[in-house]
Chains A and B, each alone.
Chain A
Amino acid sequence: MHEWALAEAVILTASQIAEKEGLKEVTEVKIKIGELQQIEQDIFEFAISQLKNERLKNTRFVIETVKVEFECMVCGHKWVFAKEKLGEDEKEGIHFVPEVAHAFIKCPKCGSSDFEILQGRGVWIESMKGVKP
């Protein structure tokens, strides 16, 4: 699953940060998942649990979903993601590469596909806590 690739990226990055910061143990990692990518959170969490290494074995992974907000570059209108208006192929395309939203979504006010994804795009590590030796 695609969620595994993203979970692997999170584990690798968290491990690299822990190494750089000299943390012997990471106690918490806060992750933000953008709604646009439609990540299956249970699969993502399971992948995280399976990919954890020694330094991350007791880490609490706190996952927060972030709502999508779009802003039209032409008329300035802001709106939210309504995935029920999209077909299955369109949702799947956006799941893999969220930027293809520009092919399928238009500003509901002026019809432009020139918009910015203000928030809620992909997966981010917001913060980490840990114990130094």
Chain B
Amino acid sequence: MIDPRISVIAERLKGIRNIIAVSSGKDSVGKSLIASTMALALARRGYRVGLFDLDFTSPSTHVILDAGDLYPEEDNGIVPPKVHGLKYMSIVYYAREYALPLRGADISNALIELLAVTRWNTLDFLIIDMPPGISDATLDLLRFIKGVKFLIITTPSSLAFESVKKLIGLLLELKTPVIGVIENMKIKESPFIRQQVEDRRIKFWGEVPFDSHLEEAIGDVNKLLETKFSKKLGELVEKNL
């Protein structure tokens, strides 16, 4: 028995110049906000950008973007709708507001299905919002998307970095490109994360200060792009990508 979907994945992704997985070993470090804002910032700079929410059991980018009532179109596969200038895909289009409890094999199958049928066509960047940790989605991405690059997110906490360093270790061992690390929600001066990252010979993109007004901007893209968080992130993207 052969799964025919695997062969077609490379064909579906061949028009994408850069695939960047925004990832972390730890939950609640701001991956979804960084992935969404980074995608919006790149689109506002004139790039053709896609955003793919791969956090199947806890998707949130649709809330950040207020993705609205648009729906993927069927045209020899699935064509992602354009949301605020981004080609946007999330499992929330199919599972809607319901809880989606998935075990490992189901996560892999759903990922393969979406990779096999989604027509991104030509993009400069496909930003992938990853679920936390080193589990099925990360392993499948490494298996099916050749050339994927990882942008790692951490907070200043040594607890967050304890998980992040394992993800970095795995990626380096697999010779997967890690384009950088962002230290998010920075509150006070500390060189700990920068040192840890640089000791591993990975580019430290910089720090994004904790922004107490960020919550108020969720669901309002224009307001989001005006936050201190977005402005600092935009600088880091401009400087490092």
Q: Which residues of A contact B (CB under 8 A)?
A: 1-2, 4-6, 8-10, 12-14, 16-17, 32, 73, 89, 92-94, 96-100, 102-104, 113-114, 116-117, 121-126
Contact = CB atoms under 8 A, between A and B. Distances in A.
Given A13-B8, A93-B93, 18 more contacts: A5-B116, A6-B117, A9-B4, A12-B7, A12-B11, A89-B96, A96-B94, A96-B117, A97-B114, A99-B110, A99-B113, A100-B94, A100-B95, A102-B101, A113-B99, A114-B103, A116-B105, A125-B2
B1 interface: yes
Contacts of A97: 91, 94-95, 110, 113-114
Interface in B98-154: 98-103, 105-107, 109-110, 113-114, 116-117, 119
B8 A12 contact: yes
Contacts, number: 108
Chain A binding surface SS class: helix
A103 B98 contact: yes
B91 A100 contact: yes
Which of A1, A13, A89 has most chain B Cβ within 10 Å? A13
B99 A17 contact: no
- 5 closest Cβ contacts across the A-B interface? A5-B77, A93-B94, A103-B98, A13-B4, A9-B8
